[in-house]
Amino acid sequence: MSMEELLEKLTEYVLVLSDALANDGNANDRPLLTKHLATAAEMYALLHKHQDASAIEGLIKSEIRGHGWSYIAGPSGEKIAHKWVIFIKAAGIEQ
């Protein structure tokens, strides 16, 4: 997969996180959403700098654990999980 396609998948993931943060009423999810957004920003920076998915492998593996331990409730949680799986498959990293 090209870097452009990988960044597109990361963008889709970021947008569902941002939408959930802006629109969901569950205050308990806000810190987790903020953490995921911060990690996604770091992924963007590393992908931009190195132009290689291997540069974010450690972050992805850490986020995989984070997604497994903490569940985001409701329809937003389902959308986020779906976009996350699409992104990590695009990056070539198994969950």
- Which residue ranges make up each domain of the chain? 3-91
pTM: 0.91
- Give me the amino acid identity at 15: L
pLDDT at 69: 56
Fold annotation for 3-91: Substrate Binding Domain Of Dnak; Chain:A; Domain 2 (1.20.1270)
What tens digit of pLDDT does each residue of 42-57 get? Answer: 999 999 999 999 999 9
